[in-house]
């Protein structure tokens, strides 16, 4: 079983739609979680950290459920520029600094 | 955020040759640098972690004699793919952080194609 699993999609949504991505992690010792965004043939860029209390950054909302080992990302009012691959990332609890990436969820927002 | 560069951005080489990829932190001192590999339609996989002035720590399944990592200064780490073969063709990405506890900043990646 992969340490971080995501639904690969692809998700194809119209502009203005709300879309949600899910992610599960298997290592209960994982301490920190993030969502990264990766555009085609580019490096990943940090989108936001994920906190247990849930956090919001503009149109993006991230949630963490430690009991279920589940992470989510909600994007409201989708823009064309949101089209990318979204990567769920966990930091191992046993190896500080080691980022474990999920396989990514592909999002395409169309006019 | 901090800036990390990689060079070259793309390299095409013949099978059996060695390829060196440089990763530089341009505006901060990177105590720790990480090297990742990403095959098409797959996620990033950590290859190794390097701390300035010490030997790199390789992930399971990554051959240290094939992927030579040098982190001789606080702003430069190099990855050398020795005797490259077509199966080594991949997108190699480095990241750098001021310490293993800090945010990692990613380089733009190097696309390696081995013919």
Per-residue pLDDT of chain A (111 residues; tens, 9 = 90+): 788 999 888 999 999 999 999 999 998 888 889 999 999 989 999 999 998 888 999 999 999 999 999 999 999 999 999 999 999 999 875 555 788 999 999 999 999
Per DSSP (E only), the strands in chain B are 4-7, 10-13, 19-25, 32-38, 45-51, 57-58, 67-73, 76-81, 90-97, 105-106, 110-114
Over the stretch B30-43, which tens digit does the pLDDT of each residue have? 889 999 999 988 88
For B5-58, how does the pLDDT look when each residue is reduced to its tens digit (9 = 90+)? Answer: 999 999 999 999 999 999 999 998 988 999 999 998 888 999 999 988 888 999
Query: At residue B83, does pLDDT exceed 70?
Result: yes
Considering only residues B2 and B80, tell me which one the structure prediction assigns the higher pLDDT.
B80
Q: Does A44 touch chain B (CB under 8 A)?
A: yes
pLDDT of residue A48: 94
A85 touches chain B (CB under 8 A): no
- Cis-peptide, bond into residue B52, ω within 30° of zero: no
Residue A25: what pLDDT?
Answer: 93
Q: What is the pLDDT of residue A52?
A: 83
Cβ of B44 and A87 within 8 Å?
A: yes
Which among A97, A102, A104 has the least Cβ separation from residue B32?
A97
Interface test with B, best of A25, A39, A43 (most B CBs within 10 A): A43
A101 near B CB under 8 A: yes
CB nearest to A101's CB, from B43, B103, B109: B43
- Residue B51 bridge partners (DSSP): B32
Whether B50 and chain A come into contact, CB under 8 Å, resolves to no
More confidently predicted of A102 and B1: A102
CB distance from A91 to chain B under 8 Å? no
Q: What is the pLDDT of residues B54-75, one digit of tens each?
A: 889 999 999 999 999 998 899 9
- Exposure class string for A74-98: b at 16+ Cβ within 10 A, else e: ebeebeeebbbbbbbbbbbeeeebb
Please tell me the predicted confidence (pLDDT) of residue B102. 72
């Amino acid at each position: 079983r992969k340490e971080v699993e995501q639904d690969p999609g692809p998700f194809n949504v119209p502009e203005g739609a709300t879309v949600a991505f899910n992610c599960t992690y298997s290592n209960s010792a994982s301490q920190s979680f993030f969502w990264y965004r990766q555009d085609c043939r580019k490096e990943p860029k940090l989108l936001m950290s994920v906190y247990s209390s849930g956090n919001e950054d503009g149109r993006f909302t991230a949630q963490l459920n430690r009991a279920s080992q589940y992470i989510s990302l909600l994007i409201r009012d989708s823009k064309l520029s949101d089209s990318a691959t979204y990567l769920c990332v966990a930091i191992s609890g046993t190896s500080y600094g080691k980022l474990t990436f999920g396989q990514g969820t592909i999002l395409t927002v169309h006019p | 955020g901090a800036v990390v560069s990689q060079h070259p951005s793309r390299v095409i080489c013949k099978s059996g040759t060695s390829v060196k990829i440089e990763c530089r932190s341009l505006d901060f001192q990177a105590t720790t640098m990480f090297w990742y590999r990403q095959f098409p339609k797959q996620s990033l996989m950590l290859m190794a972690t390097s701390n300035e002035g010490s030997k790199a720590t390789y992930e399971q399944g990554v051959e240290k004699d094939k992927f030579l990592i040098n982190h001789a200064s606080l702003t430069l780490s190099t990855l050398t793919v020795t005797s490259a073969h077509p199966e080594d063709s991949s997108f190699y990405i480095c990241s750098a952080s001021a310490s293993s506890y800090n945010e990692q900043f990613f380089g733009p990646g190097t696309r390696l194609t081995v013919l």
